[in-house]
Amino acid sequence: MARSSTDTAPSLRDTQPFPPLPATDADVSTSARRNPAQIRTVVVYLRTANAGADGRHILQRQRAELQGEIDFQGYTVAAWIEDRHQSATTLDRPGLREALRLLASGYVDALICTDIGRLTRSAEVILQLAAHMDDYGWDLLTLETGGAPTALNLDRRGSAAASPQRA
């Protein structure tokens, strides 16, 4: 059923604790929270915009790649979270909301996904995630550099860059 222009979806801010966007670029931290060797517990995030068999294959491929890295690094997985048939241009995704709740708990060190495109394709969402990272002290790891984890760093203009993490 299509949503009419008068319907309003519940705001992400109404459904979970989530900080407002930073007021200035200076409010966005550019430093990683911890040394990669200190990361022990992760939330694994998988996403696809595709439906049906294509979507299932994409999620299976992501899961296999991430499982290999998790085994290699010796991470403990707090949760495997999937968003099926979801756009990467918003934070308003059931799985991502759950992942952010877990990360805000303080019991999880990092969110891991195959690449930044699985998490977001929006500069605004990157800034919101960076603010959440700063407020709750978690790290973002991706496999974008040939299987080595990377951390999301933001430059003063709010541009995302993946920088390799070395153990």
Tens digit of each residue's pLDDT (9 = 90 or more) over 88-130: 898 899 999 999 999 999 899 999 999 998 999 889 998 999 9
Say whether 161 sits in a helix, a strand or coil: strand
Q: What is the pLDDT of residue 51?
A: 87
Q: What is the pLDDT of residue 149?
A: 56
| Chain mean pLDDT for the chain | 75
Say whether 132 sits in a helix, a strand or coil: helix
Q: What is the pLDDT of residue 144?
A: 79
pLDDT greater at residue 110 or residue 22:
110
Stated pTM of the model: 0.70
- In sign, the C-alpha dihedral spanning 92, 152, 56, 63 is negative
Considering the chain, what percentage of its residues have pLDDT values greater than 90?
44
Helices (H), 8-110: 12-15, 52-73, 94-104
